[in-house]
Structure 1
Amino acid sequence: MKYSLFLPQGWLMDLSSIQSPVEAYEAMTHTAQTADEVGYESVWLVDHVHTAPQSSQALIFESWTSTAALARDTKRVRIGQMVSCNGYRNPALLAKMASTVDVLSHGRLTVGIGAGSGQQEHYAYGYEWLETPERLSQLSEAVHVLQAMWTQEEAIFEGNYYQVHGAINQPKGVQKPHIPLLIGGNGEKVTLKLVAKYGDACNIGEDVETIGHKLAILQHHCENVGRNYQNIYRTAGTICMVADTDEEALARVPEKMKEVLGTMMHSVLIGSLDTIRRRITAYEAVGIQELVIRFPDPFQLFELYIDVPLVSRYSRWEM
């Protein structure tokens, strides 16, 4: 199992205690640099422009400009979005942006993309919010555009939503055959079929039992399209809070976060080390290869663990 980190970006008010935008960015990038140093596999940003669970005046950093900055602020760790909202950017331009960031990072970028969430955000920023089937159709076309821009000398694509007519994208990035594409979402009929056909990686944010079911569906789609299921890198999001006892760990989790997690509470990494070991084993058993971890207080994580000999136990989970 590999372990990665959601960065404090402002989306969940996780930078609200810092008044200065400059200091808030430095806190975010310091977290990324620390993750880089102690052995996390990758760091991830969300693609939202308003805070959650309610929109507020608290700051939140935009995803792709932050990705570019982090590409220069870090040295080893991979960088990605969980996931880019397809409706926010033309996919041909997104491909160009990604190619540039892959160069900036010396080949450490993963592009995450999904159909998008956050209807209120779309409305506030003037983006059209289409019904789910249309957004999924747009996502399918966007994936084709991305791959065309990364693999063709003059990209050609003619769809209902997107068209490119001999678009040149140089440089195409560092990684070969192209930048890895993570397709987020777990819709069984459309999204997971898209992953089976075109995704290099997927992310499923559900409880372990549901993840197992979704990955079985993905494997079935792979068989139908002649794709090797093992060639798709499988990730899941989780929350982590470590304490001496399960009760103590649970008490430290904010009530709003408990409400959001719902049925995932019995799967996520909240509890004693023994409990967390068992839950990691459960993720592995259903086929997850990398856990993307959100700490309720990521700054506390590093304050508590970074300077002690047990750092690897908490950061790399070498247990």
Structure 2
Amino acid sequence: MPTGVDFGWILPHGRARMPSGGLAALAAQAQTVLDAARGHVRSLWIADHFMAGDDGTAPLPEALTTLAYLAAKIPDVRLGTLVLGQNYRNPALLAKMAATLQVLSGGRFVCGIGAGWKEEEYRAYGYEFPSAAVRIAQMVEAVQICRLMWDPGRRQATFHGRYYRIDRATCEPKPVPAPPVLIGGGGEKLTLRAVAEYADWWNLPGVSPDEFARKTAILARHCGTVGRDPAVILKSWKGVVAIARTREEAAAHLHGYPIWPGDVPLLGTPEDIREQIGAYVRAGVQSFMLEFADEPATEGVRLFAEEVAPAFRAESRA
């Protein structure tokens, strides 16, 4: 059962501040952040997109390939997707890719998946972009297929769903243990029902503590409906941190920083950030996936590691 609080760093993958120099530079930046965090950042997270920049031409390596590279370069932290577009890859192929990454990383992969949302990316790559309800139903079938193919007691997997079909598909070597499945999103009727039935982890980005608590209560009701204890689902929050010695300096870090409309950043002095994180913890958050608004500088993550994270020491989930 999940316990404690921990912190992860969201790679600047697809953001304006992604380092030049390719994957080697990205791995170096990740290691710099981990060093600055002094053991308080225990996971690295990557988004799943194909195009970046205003015109879509900025360099953007594919997410799972990038994590495989990082798994070899950085051996001692969890690696996760936040989140995969479920129909960017055939579900059986996704199961195979995730299993391979789990084996290569020594069991450190978290398979984060979502319904998908970036329509222009779908259109550019020739994917259909059905309604949200259909995409969520497809996501559920994709998770079911992954679970079947990862099952160590099953040599072949057959699944005939409404949207996806596999026949006697194999997945060797098996991922042992199977990657935890993280489902991202907060849709109250369909997404949270899917989380209740199928997720090991849940991520809700950018919302306030009060909204997180409200969504958590809805998730608990769905868990009651499907007969599952909500406490077994690890609950996480994704967002931006702007931290500095003064509130004015912290606010300056946000100038020009891309934040999703309506998202709530962690903003202020170390004392402010401790209070804000405490409110999220009281709302039910157990894991935080963070990006720092002063990147590529490391002053923010150092200050966070020295004066914020120690107040929320957690048991390792490794």
| TM-score (norm: length of structure 1) | 0.89
Matches within 5 A, 1:220-239: 220-239=221-240
How far apart, CA to CA, are the structure 1 residues paired with 2:250 and 2:300? Answer: 16
Given that residues 35 and 77 in structure 1 are in contact (C-alpha distance below 8 angstroms), is that contact kept between their aligned partners in structure 2?
no
1:160-199 matched pairs, under 5 angstroms: 160-175=162-177, 178-199=178-199
Q: 1:14 maps to what in 2? A: 17
Q: 2:44–2:78: 8 Å Cα contact kept in structure 1?
A: yes
**CA deviation after TM superposition for structure 1 residue 172, in Å:** 1.4
Shift of 1:312: 3.4
Q: CA deviation at 1:36?
A: 4.6
1:105 aligned partner, one-letter code:
S
Aligned to 1:201: 201
**AA partner of residue 274 (structure 1):** E
User: Structure 1 counterpart of 2:305, which letter?
Assistant: S
Higher relative contact order (CA 8 A, sep 6+): 2
* Structure 1, unpaired ranges of 5+: none
Question: Pairwise mapping of residues 143-154 of structure 1 onto structure 2 (< 5 A)?
Answer: 143-151=143-151, 152-154=154-156
Q: CA deviation at 1:110?
A: 0.4
In the aligned structure 2, how far is the partner of 1:227 from the partner of 1:298?
40
Contact 1:47 1:82 in 2 (8 A): yes
Residues 1:305 and 1:254: Cα distance change in structure 2 (over 3 Å): closer
Q: Which one has a larger percent helix, Structure 1 or Structure 2?
A: 1
Equivalent residues of 1:14, 1:297 under 8 A apart: no
Distance 1:311-1:187 versus aligned 2 partners, 3 A rule: closer
What are structure 2's unaligned runs of at least 5 residues? 312-318
Structure 2 letter corresponding to 1:4: G
Structure 1 position 76, deviation (Å): 1.0
Aligned to 1:278: 275
8 Å CA contact 2:185–2:192 kept in 1: the answer is yes
Distance 1:161 1:56 in 2: 29
1:157 counterpart = 2:159: yes
Aligned match of 1:292: 289
Cα pair distance change 1:170/1:56, threshold 3 Å: closer
Deviation at 1:64, TM superposition (A): 0.9
Contact 1:36 1:75 in 2 (8 A): no
1:132-147 residue pairs with structure 2 within 5 A? 132-147=132-147
Secondary structure in 2 matching 1:67: helix
Q: 3-state SS of the aligned residue for 2:76?
A: coil
CA deviation vs aligned residue, 1:195-228 (integer Å, no higher than 9, x gap): 1111000000122221111111111111111111
Q: Is the 8 A contact 1:270 1:276 kept in 2?
A: yes
The RMSD of aligned alpha carbons is 1.9
Call closer, same or farther: CA 1:288–1:305 in 2, change over 3 Å.
closer
User: CA contact under 8 A between 2:253 and 2:294: conserved in structure 1?
Assistant: no
Report what 1:25 is aligned to.
23
TM-score w.r.t. length of structure 2: 0.89
**Count of aligned residue pairs for this structure pair:** 301
In structure 1, the residue corresponding to 2:248 is in which secondary structure? helix
Query: Could you tell me which residue of structure 1 aligns to residue 8 of structure 2?
Result: 4
Q: Provide the C-alpha distance between the structure 1 equivalents of 2:166 and 2:233, rounded to a whole number of angstroms.
A: 27
Shift of 1:24: 3.2
Task: Tell me the distance in 1 between the aligned counterparts of 2:250 and 2:146.
Answer: 42
What amino acid sits opposite 2:29 in the alignment? T
1:120 corresponds in structure 2 to 120
Give the Cα–Cα distance (whole angstroms) in 1 for the partners of residues 203 and 304 of structure 2: 26
More displaced 10-residue stretch of structure 1: 54-63 or 206-215: 54-63
**Structure 1 Cα separation of the partners of residues 137 and 169 of structure 2:** 22
Does the 8 Å contact 1:36/1:77 carry over to 2? no
